[in-house]
């Protein structure tokens, strides 16, 4: 299976770190679509994608998102753990820059 880089595909661009550089390559397109898509459909898409967490367990992201109660009238928040305190762990910092 050939892996296609998604997050790092345009790192060589001179302005890859800017919002305009991000938008030139379709940045925020998925975000705009997500705002008009039913939450259950988004969870289903993430489940079907096979996306997994970057921690040691590789927990399925869609499954984790499905644990959030729906239609309860309360706000929901996405909390991202960006801790790299393990010795030699530097797998996520390039993705957050």
How far is it, in rounded angstroms, from Cα 10 to Cα 16?
6
Mean pLDDT of 18-47: 94
How much is the pTM?
A: 0.69
Write the CA distances from 30 to 19, 40, 42, 90, integer angstroms.
15, 16, 11, 27
* Maximum C-alpha span of the chain: 45
Q: What is the pLDDT of residue 35?
A: 95
Supply 51's token pair.
């996306």
How far is it, in rounded angstroms, from Cα 59 to Cα 32?
26
Ranking 4-8, 59-63, 64-68 by mean pLDDT, the lowest is 4-8
Q: What is the pLDDT of residue 53?
A: 84
Asked whether 93 and 84 are in contact (CB, 8 A), the reply is yes
Domain ranges, ordered by start, for the chain = 38-96
Asked whether residue 67 carries a pLDDT value surpassing 80, the answer given is: yes
* SS3 at position 32: helix
């Amino acid at each position: 299976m050939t892996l296609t880089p998604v997050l790092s595909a345009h790192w060589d661009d001179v302005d890859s770190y800017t919002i305009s550089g991000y938008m030139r390559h379709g940045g925020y397109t998925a975000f705009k679509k997500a705002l008009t898509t039913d939450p259950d459909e988004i969870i289903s898409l993430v489940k079907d994608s096979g996306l997994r967490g970057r921690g040691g367990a590789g927990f399925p992201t869609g499954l984790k998102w499905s644990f959030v109660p729906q239609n309860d009238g309360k706000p929901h928040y996405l909390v991202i753990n960006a801790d790299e305190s393990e010795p030699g762990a530097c797998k996520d910092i390039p993705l957050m820059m």
